[in-house]
Each structure stands twice: as structure tokens, then as C-alpha cells.
Chain A
Amino acid sequence: MKRNFRFYFALFFAKCTALVLKLIGRKGTSMPGSWAIILCPDFLGRMPLPKEVVLVAGTNGKTTVANLIEDILTANGVDYLCNRGGANVNTGLASTLIAGSTFFGRPKHDLAIFEFDERSAPLILPYIKPSTFLCTNLCRDALDRNANVDFIVKLINENLWQGAKLVVNGDDLIASHLAPGSQRVCFGISQLPRDSGSRPNLVRDIVCCPECDTPLSYDFLRYNHIGRAHCPQCGWGTHPIAYDCTAVDMDAMEFTLRTPHGEEAYRLPGANITDLYNTVTAVAFLRDRGLSYQQVAGALQGAQLARSRYDVEKVGDKEVIFCLAKGQSPIASSRVFDFITRQGGRAAIILLNYDSHDQAHSSENIGWLYEVDYEFLRNDCVKQLIPTGNRCYDYQVRALLAGMEPSRVHAAPQPEEAAALVDLDNVDKVYILHAVFTVPDARRARDELVKRINGKEAC
């Protein structure tokens, strides 16, 4: 699209807005872009783009993957533009592009790595034609907003241009079959010994072959619909995996990746299966893009996962673990529950992954709780489950229906009450599971808990 007077007016206005926000100490990750699009609705289509644009999409893991890619690129001295710490919707991308441009809008960078909200596909993809579209996974999420995964697939398929190269999770039959006809590279994780302990999940977003409705035959099922499968009737199923993790050494925190260049070993920055997927995703993309093994493996040695998502604090003889368990996201919460029960020990869980906006203004739809595998928490290592917030009684009912012993489930409307209910004599660690926007409440629970533990130690 040509740049006209309206575009330049929107660009300058947005740049001024960004400057004002900077002067008053705001990040301005969304507002400049909002103004630009209000003043020029097709602003994204007129804005000059870096030569190479990579969109990182997916229901879970896109932030971590985008951050990991950026860290590795930085370690290798590659210059790029990204929306890290900013909004991943159209206004956020517009803000980032404005911030990364000259006075007249020319891009200052040749490469852009954008975390991308799938729901915003109709607002972004008609204007931004990515060279690479990376997708970690696609599953049900935020029912109020995303409806169902078929809807999200429809939005992407209707708007993604055919020239984009897809780097997709081959273990996800939904994500790996996006944009039929486009060039794709698949990554995945072969069946591992730890998969033998996999427990069936309540929900699976693909059960039958989309071509002929025959139930899929799974070679292995890792969690939810993640695994490798084929249709016994028509052969539809998992694509060939170009970057395949074939072994994991949890003691050495390393994994082996079979690639088109040969077998390679990399450091694993986290113990969860989702950490492994996120790392494999980043490595597959970067190796496919042309970075050498030494460049990727070397940078990965120093890479860390965001502390805001998982942070362990030693308080006295207890571990207080701050962990993100996204609200309204059944698969993310189920993964966290699975992880906790694999860690063993004696744990209490304070649950704060309610919707803070609904808590303040409305009343949360609790449907998603019945898609989360609370059944995992029947494990003996979970000594206490203490949901908080206005919906704490609903969480309590959900846990009871999952078969948890009533004596282990306590409802506490306030975070401090939840902390007060933790039986410090019978637990070694306390998980504080929070949603993205309930961190302040989670901190209240943690502060009260730390006070109690320290008080007990002093006594």
C-alpha cells in the first residue's frame, strides 16, 4: 500500500504520543499504535516493514519461545526488532514498528520477531505478510474470546498468505496442518520414557480424522491432543518431523535433537515438558534459519526462562514457588498440575488463577475449570489445595468432583486467609499459582506466608 498524507499524520501523531508517554515514564507498548490505527485504519499495511518478519504464534509458549529466540539472537549479535514486554495484538505490533522506525517510518532493522496473538489474525495478517510463521501449538483457550480451536484455525487459514514458511509443532495435529499448501518445517519430541507416565487428559481438541471422521490412531499421546497419530482409514496424520528431540537427560539437563544437519545436543533450561517444547521450537527455527550449531548451543548455555513465570524462593526450610498457571486456559493449568505432581515432596497449592477483571466487575464463567485436570491433584504429594477469590467455592467443588479428599481442599476468599490455612508442619513446599493479572494478590499470599514461616522459625 502507498503511504499517503493520512499515514504520515498518523505516524507523526503516534510518535508524539510515544514521546509524551516516555516523558511521563510509561512504556507505551500499545497506545501509540492504537492512535495510529484509529487515525489510519490500514496503518499496518502502509507501514514499511523489516525485510524479514517472523510471527511467533500458539496458544501456549509463544512468549517464552519469542524471548528465547531473541536471547539467542542477541547473544550472537544479530540485530532485530521485537515486541518483547509489549502487546501482541495489532496495536502492539504497530507501536513496535513505530518505535523501530526512523522519523519518516523507515525500519531501522532488517529482522522483526513478533509474538502474535492468533485471535488478532484478521487485524494483522492481511497487512503483515510474514516470511516465517512459527506456531507452538493450538488448543482451546479463553472461551469468551477464542471460542474454540476450529475458529482460531479458520482465522489463521483465511488470513495467512501462502508465501509464509511455517515452522510448526509436528506433535500437534492442529497446528501442523495449518495453511494447507504452504511450505512447512515440523519439529517435535519423539516418544520419551517419561511419556509412559502420561495420564489421559479430560480434553482433546482433535480426536477424529478431519478428512473422514474415523477415530485417530495414536502412536503415542503425550498430553491432551499432543502426540503422534494417523488415521487408519485414509492415512491423514503426523507430518515428517525435521527437528526431532530423540532423548532427554534430566540429570545433565540436556537433550538430543535429530536435525537435517545431524544429531545435536543442547542444554535444557527448564524441567517441564513445556520447557522442552519451547526450547526445541526456538532451536528448530534458528537452525532452520541458518544459525550454526555452535551459535545456538553456545547461546542456549546462558539462556534462562522468565522468572515472572516460575520462581523458587527458599524461606526457612520451605520452598515458596511462584508459578504462572494461566487463567481460562485449561491446557496450561493442566500442565502445571502435572508438573507439580511429578516433582513429589509434600506440597500445598494456593490457587489464584481466577479472572481478576471479572472478579472486580462481573462474575467469572467457570466452565474452563471442568476442562482442567484437577484429577491429577489426587496425587499423595498434594497435601492441600487452597483456592482463593470470589470463585473459591467453585474451585472447591471442582476439586471434590475430581476425587480429592475433602479434608485437603479448603476455600479461602482472601489471599491472606489462604496463606494462613497452609499447614506448615506437613508441607515442604508451597506453590502459589497465579494468573497473568493476579500477581498482586499472589504477592499478598506470599508475603503472609513468608511472615508465617519466618515467625515459626523464630519461635
Chain B
Amino acid sequence: MKIEILYPEYANLFGDMGNILYLKACLPQAEFIETPMNSAPRFLTEPIDLIYMGPMSEPAQEKAIQRLMPYKEQLAGLIAGGAHFLFTGNAVETLFQEIEDNGRKIPGLGLFSLTAKRNYLHRHNSNFLGGFQGMEVLGCKSQFTMAYGDNSQNYFAKAQRGIGLNRDTPLEGIRQNNFIGTYLIGPLLVMNPPFTRWLLDSMGAKDAPLAYEDAVKRAYAQRLKEFKDPAVRMEKEGDTNQLKIDFSPKSWYNILKSKLRRG
């Protein structure tokens, strides 16, 4: 089994390399190929069982688009042919029509008719609980962009809590044949043992056991319990560069109360 990691010297943010660490633990016999930006991808010349790309900084994302652009047709062919892909975070945006950045338009590979809009003044941070193939998928988002377009026929997961491509849709990510692109970042495969089981099965590794299955499932169960708790906030305060100050008389009352309590 061969797994190709695209541009890991740049596309390695947010702990997404945890996905590769976990795949290595589950598939100790597999060959992991790291393809740097200055090299041609291996998927051009040989069959690959999973092509992976993680999130990266915005300048690196633009470089990745430039490097992948000459292979646009091959990538489209592989997706149509059922090759397995997992693109996480803003890696999926490289395949969109374009990325808008404060009026500047950065053309993507155009394999999916979606557009991403960057807003450096507001970073969106949230948790996600959604359904995929009857499983519950959990994850976290941390991004400057929101994506727009119709993914109703090819979404990855439907949100029960949290947001989809943008605030107005519960439909998260892209799934086309065996291509999965998602804004869920971090060690997605570690955090979602049911999904990882599905992915391994789908890749033809039905016999491969999940590494540290009990421990991973216990962590999953704990997080699932939290994400289903209505008291747990899914969206976190982004850093909007706006001042946050509590004007309310209650805040002054609380200060006085704590002072009095301390005597």
C-alpha cells in the first residue's frame, strides 16, 4: 500500500500530520512517500492508494496551486477514476475555482465549482459534529476563509452542530467518489475511529486493525459526549481585533463582590 503526502514541508499545520502518524501506526507495512514542492508528484507515474495534503499558510497555498496546476487533468482523472484522496483544511481550496483575498482573485485548479473568501480580520474557530455514512464525525475548524457554492450533491458530512462550508449551510466539505476534502483540521483520523475504519476499509485495508483502538475510542466517546452537550459552545470567539469589554453594571458588581468576599 502506498500513501503519498503532498508538500509536507509546507502543508503540515495544525497537527494534521497526526493523521499520517496514525496511518503509519495502523498500516505499518505501507510505504509513505513525501513529495516536496520542487518534485513531481508520484501519483503521475504509479498507482497510489491515498493522496494526502494538509493545511498550510496562505502564501504556501498559492505556491501549492502553482505546482499542482500543470497536473490538473491528471488529478481530475484520478478523482473520476476513484482514487482515494484526503485533503484537509485549506488544502481543499487549491482545487476550487478561485480564492478571493480582499479583492484579489487567485485562480484554483477549478476541479470543484466553489469559491473561498479570505478574511484576515476574522478567524473562524469552531467545533463540528456531523453525519457521514451513518457515522458521527467530529472535528475542529480554524480558518480565515469561508467557502461558497453548491456542494449539495457532493458534500462530505452534514452538520448536526457547527457549520458547513459557511455559516449558512450545514453541508461540510467535498466528497466526490473517493476524494474527501474537508475543513476539519487536526488529527481527524485519530479523533474519528469510525471514519478511519471506513477509510481503511475503503482503501482495501480491511484487515488492518485500528492502532490503540481502545484508547482512541475512549477519547472519541468523551468528545462525542461533550459535542452533544448543548452547554458546550461549538463556535469560539475569533480574534476579530475588536475590543472586548464588559460594560454591564453586573461586571462592576462582580468585581466589588469578589473584593468584599476576600475581605
Contact = CB atoms under 8 A, between A and B. Distances in A.
Contacts of B259: 24-26
**Secondary structure class of chain A's binding surface, majority of residues:** helix
Interface centre among A358, A365, A398 (most CB of B within 10 A): A365
Contacts of A34: 243, 245
Contact of A363 (B187, B216, B218, B232): B232
Interface string B97-121: 0000000000000000000000010
A272 to B, nearest CB: 24
A367 interface: yes
A396 B219 contact: yes
Contacts of B37: 208, 213
Nearest to A91: B243
A369 B15 contact: yes
B15 A363 contact: no
A265 interface: no
B25 A401 contact: yes
A156 interface: no
B211 interface: yes
A64 interface: no
Interface residues of A, number: 48
B33 interface: no
A136 to B, nearest CB: 21
Contact of A370 (B18, B140, B226, B256): B18
B18 A144 contact: no
**Secondary structure class of chain B's binding surface, majority of residues:** mixed
Contacts of B233: 361-362
A148 interface: yes
Nearest to B140: A365
A336 interface: no
B57 A150 contact: yes
A207 B8 CA distance: 10
Contacts of A38: 243, 245
A393 B12 contact: no
Contacts of A151: 57-58, 120
Given A143-B13, A144-B125, A367 B255 contact: no
A149 B262 CA distance: 42
A429 B3 CA distance: 43
A402 to B, nearest CB: 8
A122 B16 CA distance: 29
B16 A367 contact: yes
Contact of B226 (A148, A208, A363): A363
A400 B21 contact: no
Contacts of A91: 243
Contacts of A149: 57
Given A203-B17, A394-B219, A401-B18, 19 more contacts: A24-B255, A24-B259, A25-B262, A38-B245, A145-B239, A148-B56, A149-B57, A150-B57, A207-B10, A208-B36, A208-B37, A213-B63, A215-B38, A362-B232, A363-B227, A365-B125, A367-B185, A371-B15, A401-B25
17 contacts: A24-B259, A35-B245, A120-B241, A143-B142, A144-B125, A145-B123, A215-B36, A362-B233, A363-B127, A363-B227, A365-B125, A366-B191, A370-B190, A393-B219, A394-B223, A398-B18, A400-B215
CB-CB nearest 3 A-B residue pairs = A367-B186, A367-B15, A370-B18
